[in-house]
Amino acid sequence: MILVTGGAGFIGANFVLDWLAGSDEPVVNLDKLTYAGNLHNLDGLKGDARHIFVQGDIGDSALVERLLAEHRPRAIVNFAAESHVDRSIHGPEDFIHTNVVGTFRLLEAARHYWSALPATEKEAFRFLHVSTDEVYGTLAPAAPAFTEDHRVEPNSPYSASKAASDHLVRAWHHTYGLPVLTTNCSNNYGPLHFPEKLIPLMIVNALAGKGLPVYGDGMQIRDWLYVRDHCSAIRRVLEAGRLGETYNVGGWNEKPNIDIVKTICALLDELRPRADGEKYASQVIYVKDRPGHDRRYAIDARKIERELGWKPAETFDTGIRKTVQWYLDNPDWVANVQSGAYRDWVAKQYEAA
């Protein structure tokens, strides 16, 4: 049995689905079901006794302690987080509550549970914390990619809250001996991605005939990681990672945002041409850049390949094609997540410059 937190969100749900597709080991899935948590992401597990879903907050110590005592998991995989930079700029308090206070309370519950385990179970237990490359700050155009030893320099409320959680995880290992592992990933994309982030927003807006909002000049560079590659990396770190270590997980796919948008437009031109014969790229609009927008992220993923033999299976070309096709094939999922609150948010955030 493993306990997964945040397992109804984008990456967490993909992880749970992939885990149960390849293993009969049950999962207790704890998710608060905020706006980005979606039980429809887990529809394929309805009636599956291996999946136990619990709605709740990682900051609810009594609930977490009860789940640990009742299910006795051999590992905790912590995806639970507020994760959207734009939302953190408008409302940072939620990010402090979940990412800092919530992680602290989860660590404390895990520590007390782990401390009382029999020796063999105690030795086998793991706490894997899923984090982000954004904790490292921004890179100059020619600077080397982020390694695990790169200085932590977060520049947004979101990345600062994740850096704080990373520090807590490290401290609970060095102070209390809690057997922790941390992964810092680059930008994920793929199925089940809530359409506030760049790639799903472009796909959804393009199909709806709406503008495709690009921040500033569109030359912000990110390293793109297909979500199911990320899931396989987490499984590998959980299986064989060295205790107390951090592993950077990247896709070796550095690309400017505007190139991502143009690639999506070209795929849609091929797979779902506009009725009027125009190209989707004609819908691109440039909007005012967000405050403190980091210019470049890049992950050096050599450590996880060297130590654990992991590398991504997907190139960006194969992963983005699968992603666009998934959104074309799942219009009902898209419609279900596009509430009035979501539409209001998009209108507010991407007002044309």
Tell me the catalytic residues: 133-134, 158
CB 34 within 8 A of CB 212: no
Could you tell me the CA-to-CA distances from 234 to 79, 145, 248 in Å, in that order? Answer: 11, 20, 10
How many CB atoms are closer than 10 A to CB 338? 15
Place of tokens 């293993």: 23
Nearest residue to 29 via CA among 340, 21, 147, 9: 9
Angle between helices 227-240 and 10-22 (to 10 degrees): 60
Residue 182 bridge partners (DSSP): 129, 246
- The Cα–Cα gap between 142 and 115 comes to 46
Q: Is the Cα dihedral 46, 17, 160, 67 positive or negative?
A: positive
